[in-house]
Chains A and B, each alone.
Chain A
Amino acid sequence: MSSELISNNFRMDKLPHIWCPGCGHGIIMRSLAKAIDNLKLDKSKVCVVSGIGCSSRAPGYMDFNTLHTTHGRALAFATGIKLANPDLEVIVITGDGDCSAIGGNHLIHASRRNIGITTILFNNNIYGMTGGQYSPTTPNKSYGTTAPFGNIDKPFDICKLADAAGATYVARGTAYHANQLIKIIEKSIQNNGFSLVDAISVCPTYYGRKNKKGSSVDMLNEIKDMTIDIKTAEKLPLDKYKDKLLIGEFKNTEQPEYTAEYQKIINRFKKER
């Protein structure tokens, strides 16, 4: 028996999903569904858009208007949808490679425009669909199939990137802190502008195996140990948390939203007619 949350928000005939045993993506997808459910959004007005990769298969399972696009371009398709019909609640599901490598340009420009799109980044530090190549969020010195001698790239902090580019809501959650992630996603959807949620996932199959991280449970426990909530960290001296990954809400501000600003131009001419 599935829970009401699942039967009300998922396409039951499309489950089970394709993700590997132990993948963190299911927790993040469920958190998104729970957030949508808690907010009581009109399901026929929710449009979930994704690119290509493991995370981007999520929309196929979710019972909304769903669009599975090309690699890296989810935000560009979503921008067209949101501008064409601003009444839609547009949510983008993307991965670290999809969002910050091939789609990095679209991320910074969607942030800059502050267009009303919520982006949930399923961040597992690796290209999973193609078998474990290093991504822009793979830690330095980690191993991937294309980093057999250790990764010499430095990883992106995608939250800082989105913040600097102009996103008005920026937060990081994790597959370990599922309840907090639900709250973060709720607030990101409620933000009237561009929101970026960096949702840390685990990939035991490729990242875990290449880097001897143990089981999925081991990897989730590692997330617990390596993170600290920004509210807690703020009360501590820097040297107590400088090696930890900050989670929580980093930015929640109000700025003019793109499609509303465009509507003002249309309205100006309506009056003149």
Chain B
Amino acid sequence: MMGNREVRLMQGNEACVEGALAAGMRFYAGYPITPSTEIAEICAQKLPLVGGKFIQMEDEIAGMAATIGGSLAGLKSMTATSGPGFSLKQENIGYAALTETPCVVVNVQRYGPSTGLPTSPAQGDIMQAKWGTHGDHPVIALSPTSVRETFDLTIKAFNLSEKYRLPVFLMLDEIVGHMREKIEIPNKEDIEIFNRLKPEKDSSEYKAYEIKENEFVPRMAAFGDGFKFHVTGLMHDESGFPTNDSQISDKLLRRIMSKVDDNVDDIVMYEEEFMDDAELVVLAYGGTYRSARSAVKEARRLGYKVGLFKPLTLWPSPDKKIKDLNEKTGKILVAELNLGQYFSEVERIVSDKSSLYKLCKVTGEAITPNEILTKIREVL
């Protein structure tokens, strides 16, 4: 029933918190940094109302550590940050990846490197999300383009983190984080929630990293559930205890990578529009997508055969689809607020590199529809 649904005007950052609460987040630890600060403020306000916990830690590193601690103690946990804070969190992000601790890390991207141009929008942390922490590690990163999508993808981020037991990045940018739009909050019963699988209560022989038959992630007990298990950032065997064994280490690292690599079709989300007869596809994500959509609509009105592609999952990249776009359509124009980070991923994927174009902007301002339209005209 439409009438039951709550319609509100809210900011992307607020929608992120609403989505997190709807997904079952009950723990938040973070450190103030603009343009993500509203997420912490709203969590501080709302979590105690539902019996959840909020804590402002002494630094970004501690914010990430406490978030992992909250999850290990059994609560769905989140932290949010922006550029410099995302850099500081990286070591513990790797810890969450290796220990397979579910959590959501929001990065409301701002202009960098370093303190950069606070707090102007940018999309410069896309490659950092993939490669930021040392060592090979599985990565899922989502990128919403609107307030409603921020709500939906925050829920999705929690579901994916619980299902695959890894930290999931929600890559907002200042544009989406601070954008205010009308949002219709879905009814609770229409929201799909995934909770981590717990071990059987009576299993006396719980091995913290053992994979049960027909399952692909280890079942996860919480500290205090009655299973006295060990968690370490050292390479470990299925009992969870450290090992120096080269074969066990190899198996563990390959297994955690396969959680994402073998389930790309389940994880990847994208949308496309105006694709019939398109000779050029504009690929854009986050706040930039909004300008791209205006530009493509206007280009279509002017008679240009242009399509629009929105990867909602940046990592793993929708590589089969991007390859397909390139083979069927030909030209791809990537528009982004950095000097070609996702462009380089598209370049990696497609075979005909000469069909690729990029529109990059690092002035600290959003790419305008007109700038994209001008580029479309240049290409076609």
CA gap between A258 and B319 in the complex, in Å: 48
Whether B231 pairs with A68 at a CB distance below 8 angstroms is yes
Whether A59 pairs with B230 at a CB distance below 8 angstroms is yes
CB distance from A179 to the nearest CB of B (A): 27
Chain B residues, CB < 8 A from A47: 223-224
CB distance from B132 to the nearest CB of A (A): 15
Q: How many residues of A contact B (CB 8 A)?
A: 38
Q: Which of A74-82, A137-145, A170-178, A188-196 contacts B (4 or more CB under 8 A)?
A: A74-82
CB distance from A61 to the nearest CB of B (A): 10
Q: Which of A47, A82, A84 has the most CB of B within 10 A?
A: A84
Interface presence of B92 (CB below 8 A) = yes
Q: Which of A220-228, A235-243, A261-269 contacts B (4 or more CB under 8 A)?
A: A261-269
Whether A68 pairs with B223 at a CB distance below 8 angstroms is no
CA gap between A66 and B242 in the complex, in Å: 12
Per-position binary interface string of chain A over residues 61-87, scored 1 when its CB falls under 8 Å from any chain B CB and 0 otherwise: 001111111100100111111111101
Across the interface, A73 reaches (CB within 8 A) one of B26, B92, B232, B234, namely B92
Whether A76 pairs with B69 at a CB distance below 8 angstroms is yes
Whether B229 pairs with A65 at a CB distance below 8 angstroms is yes
Whether A68 pairs with B234 at a CB distance below 8 angstroms is yes
Q: Which of B56-64, B324-332, B333-341, B345-353 contacts A (4 or more CB under 8 A)?
A: B56-64
CA gap between A228 and B230 in the complex, in Å: 38
Whether B69 pairs with A45 at a CB distance below 8 angstroms is no
Q: Which of B72, B95, B226 has the most CB of A within 10 A?
A: B72
Interface presence of A106 (CB below 8 A) = yes
Q: How many residues of B contact A (CB 8 A)?
A: 43
Across the interface, A109 reaches (CB within 8 A) one of B48, B62, B232, B234, namely B62
Complex interface residues of chain A between 232 and 273 (CB less than 8 A to chain B): 262, 265-266, 269-270
Per-position binary interface string of chain A over residues 204-239, scored 1 when its CB falls under 8 Å from any chain B CB and 0 otherwise: 000000000000000000000000000000000000
Given contacts A73-B92, A85-B224, A109-B62, contact A79 B27 (CB under 8 A): no
Chain A residues, CB < 8 A from B253: none
User: Secondary structure at chain A's binding surface: helix, strand, loop or mixed?
Assistant: helix
CB distance from B84 to the nearest CB of A (A): 16
Interface presence of A53 (CB below 8 A) = no
Whether B223 pairs with A105 at a CB distance below 8 angstroms is no
CA gap between A165 and B34 in the complex, in Å: 28
Complex interface residues of chain B between 66 and 116 (CB less than 8 A to chain A): 66-75, 77, 91-92, 95
Whether B228 pairs with A64 at a CB distance below 8 angstroms is yes
Q: Which of B224, B241, B242 has the most CB of A within 10 A?
A: B224
Whether B228 pairs with A63 at a CB distance below 8 angstroms is yes
Whether B228 pairs with A76 at a CB distance below 8 angstroms is no
Chain B residues, CB < 8 A from A85: 73-75, 222-224
Chain B residues, CB < 8 A from A73: 61-62, 65, 92
Interface presence of B49 (CB below 8 A) = yes
Interface presence of A60 (CB below 8 A) = yes
Whether A80 pairs with B65 at a CB distance below 8 angstroms is yes
Whether B228 pairs with A68 at a CB distance below 8 angstroms is no
Cross-chain pair count, CB within 8 angstroms:
135
Interface presence of B51 (CB below 8 A) = yes
CA gap between A170 and B61 in the complex, in Å: 26
Interface presence of B199 (CB below 8 A) = no
Across the interface, A76 reaches (CB within 8 A) one of B66, B224, B227, B230, namely B66
CA gap between A108 and B234 in the complex, in Å: 27
Whether B51 pairs with A83 at a CB distance below 8 angstroms is no
Whether A44 pairs with B224 at a CB distance below 8 angstroms is yes
CB distance from A134 to the nearest CB of B (A): 23
Whether B59 pairs with A81 at a CB distance below 8 angstroms is no
Interface presence of A88 (CB below 8 A) = yes
Chain A residues, CB < 8 A from B71: 80, 84
Complex interface residues of chain A between 96 and 122 (CB less than 8 A to chain B): 105-106, 108-109
Whether B226 pairs with A44 at a CB distance below 8 angstroms is yes
Interface presence of B53 (CB below 8 A) = yes
Across the interface, A68 reaches (CB within 8 A) one of B26, B48, B68, B233, namely B233
Chain B residues, CB < 8 A from A80: 27, 29, 55, 65-73, 77
CB distance from A29 to the nearest CB of B (A): 15
Whether A70 pairs with B27 at a CB distance below 8 angstroms is no
Given contacts A60-B242, A109-B62, contact A78 B224 (CB under 8 A): no
Q: In the complex, which residue of chain B has the Cβ closest to the Cβ of A43?
A: B228
Interface presence of A160 (CB below 8 A) = no
Per-position binary interface string of chain A over residues 1-25, scored 1 when its CB falls under 8 Å from any chain B CB and 0 otherwise: 0000000000000100000000000
Whether B232 pairs with A60 at a CB distance below 8 angstroms is yes
Given contacts A106-B62, A266-B48, contact A87 B68 (CB under 8 A): no
Q: Which of B77, B91, B92, B223 has the most CB of A within 10 A?
A: B223
4 nearest CB pairs, A to B: A80-B69, A80-B66, A76-B65, A84-B73
Besides the known contacts A76-B65, A84-B26, A109-B58, 10 further A-B residue pairs in the complex with CB atoms under 8 A apart? A44-B226, A44-B228, A49-B69, A66-B230, A79-B57, A79-B65, A80-B66, A84-B71, A88-B73, A269-B48
Interface residues, chain B, with chain A CB atoms under 8 Å away: 26-27, 29, 48-49, 51, 53, 55, 57-59, 61-62, 65-75, 77, 91-92, 95, 222-234, 241-242
10 contacts between A and B (CB under 8 A): A43-B228, A60-B232, A65-B227, A76-B58, A79-B65, A80-B27, A81-B70, A83-B29, A84-B69, A108-B58
